[in-house]
Structure 1
């Protein structure tokens, strides 16, 4: 997937940000490096964001930070690794809103998302963009819904896999709009984008960087709307789905997010220490702007707020899965 920022090169699967260690600087024991685990391949959005944060965090707390990519099973392997790590603050996970979807659509996870993790803070929240192939005669959401109703079963939509955030956001859209499209899952989001450009699928929900590349700059796809409740400041002339005038979509919101986690039973003092430093980083003006340039809104909430976000999302996606009849893997 194109990601419109410079990609920081990893040394193998890990990159070490080294700083002078001072054992008394915080409640995390020892002076050994901290590990920030990214459960996705190097060079992807989570990896690049994680390296931005790791460098700043290391400077703030005077500890070396190892950014370690542990891809596999759509994020499950790296997440399970952190779930079973020592709960002392030396191992941190950066994962996406898939943490609130996987428990709903996967029967045999190697962890329990609510029981085995303590959320530290939400890094960012961002919209997806509703994209269509330009051959489709739909210039806005209302026209897309009207076309889908007039041609039942004729529209295909793609995703990065069954139960992915792209799949779930589109399934939620179908339910709210009262339409039915055919889901075509791909092994990754880049393959679904290629399929949309080739007109193998007609509809695709995808993050803003992809939409900017293919729709705003390349004109290979047409952008109809963002999926957040409000417009994105990075693309202010693109309406939100909720502005379509369709009653069922008036409260539609399918935001995605990235969140920091530590293993459950990590001491509260450690969680609060990491939270305070990460929130400070996320509130730095240049960090806010860096995320904004990617179409993301920096957050930096409390551990309790982050946990409530995930808990609410799990309940929400459970209902979407039930109503849409999506089968668990």
Structure 2
């Protein structure tokens, strides 16, 4: 072999060995840095992205929890509203954020329906976000403006059937809990209410109080004060049984529609790739805060329940929700392009 070729191969081998060592060192340094970040997490404020407008149940509950979460995590926890497209806008922001635990999102019932409801999604609900833990379960209540001449679920159904399409209903947006609950109600009762979507549960409640819409499956936390003042009338709760916050209000199933049930929920999601230790720390913080008796009592009085739970339990729950609402959306025939 010519001397020049021999020297060339020796140099090439030295360069390859150096490059290999550099890659190994870099990988180890990255792993160490990730481990160190997880051990020191959190080191700065955390954003909780609520993908709905202020005033809805998701917003109300997370703002109740935020101060205690700040105490638990030792860093300020900020609630930021990013409404739009039934939580898709806010959760897309979370999915595209750095997977470091400093931007977390709140998912709800719409998370299970959106992949089937919407033709195009900007993120993959099964791959781009990962579950941290369940936070709360929220009952909705079929509510009407006092001007609507119906004081029972049966009367409302009869009113709509006498004048098909004359009643409209609000929601927090296409694919929101209110929208899905009402469409399921329409499907099971053969009614023809007209949908009026808003950018959040808060604006939807405001429109109902103002008489701009006739009815709404409002979450109890966002509407209970209006029941007490007489500005709204509750006809039936969306759970299978009565809710302790409204003991005199029957369930929709009990009142007129056997088998009807639609439950809202809130859970914490983070971008895929977030270190397991960070996910565990967030889950621990939410589990401890949702177990505080004072907060549980406060939230229960609003018609919701703080639940907590493990990451694995919530992951299984989300998987069931995706399957359940995919089936329901197809049965009802909903589709948003």
TM-score, scaled to structure 1: 0.79
Say whether 1:259 aligns with 2:271: no
- TM-aligned CA distance change 1:291 to 1:155, over 3 Å: same
Q: 2:310 aligns with which of 299, 302, 305?
A: 302
Is the 1:70–1:77 Cα contact (8 Å) retained in structure 2? no
CA distance in 1, matches of 2:115, 2:316: 16
Say whether 1:237 aligns with 2:245: no
* CA positional deviation for 1:131: 1.2
Say whether 1:320 aligns with 2:328: yes
| Count of residue pairs brought into register by the alignment | 302
* CA positional deviation for 1:289: 1.1
Higher helix share: 2
Q: Which moved more, 1:118-127 or 1:134-143?
A: 134-143
- TM-aligned CA distance change 1:265 to 1:211, over 3 Å: same
* CA positional deviation for 1:261: 1.1
Q: Which moved more, 1:65-74 or 1:25-34?
A: 25-34
Is the 1:36–1:65 Cα contact (8 Å) retained in structure 2? no
Residue 54 of structure 1 is matched in structure 2 by 66
Say whether 1:287 aligns with 2:295: yes
> Which runs of structure 2 are paired with 1:115-154 in the superposition (5 Å)?
115-154=127-166
SS at match of 2:104: strand
Q: Which moved more, 1:229-238 or 1:187-196?
A: 187-196
- TM-aligned CA distance change 1:154 to 1:271, over 3 Å: same
Is the 1:105–1:163 Cα contact (8 Å) retained in structure 2? yes
> Which runs of structure 2 are paired with 1:91-240 in the superposition (5 Å)?
91-197=103-209, 199-214=211-226, 216-240=227-251
Q: 1:272 aligns with which of 265, 280, 284?
A: 280
SS at match of 1:101: helix
* CA positional deviation for 1:112: 1.5
- TM-aligned CA distance change 1:116 to 1:26, over 3 Å: closer
Residue 84 of structure 1 is matched in structure 2 by 96
- TM-aligned CA distance change 1:274 to 1:66, over 3 Å: closer
Is the 1:25–1:61 Cα contact (8 Å) retained in structure 2? no
SS at match of 1:297: strand
SS at match of 2:269: strand
- TM-aligned CA distance change 1:264 to 1:223, over 3 Å: same
* CA positional deviation for 1:290: 1.9
Task: From the CA coordinates, give the structure whose radius of gyration is larger.
Answer: 2
Task: Structure 1 unaligned segments of length 5 or more: list them.
Answer: 1-22
| Aligned Cα root-mean-square deviation (Å) | 2.9
CA distance in 1, matches of 2:286, 2:153: 37
Is the 1:42–1:69 Cα contact (8 Å) retained in structure 2? no
Is the 1:26–1:61 Cα contact (8 Å) retained in structure 2? no
* CA positional deviation for 1:296: 0.9
Deviations 1:271-324 (A, max 9, x none): 233222311211110111121122210110222222232222222322332233
Is the 2:66–2:79 Cα contact (8 Å) retained in structure 1? no
* CA positional deviation for 1:224: 0.4
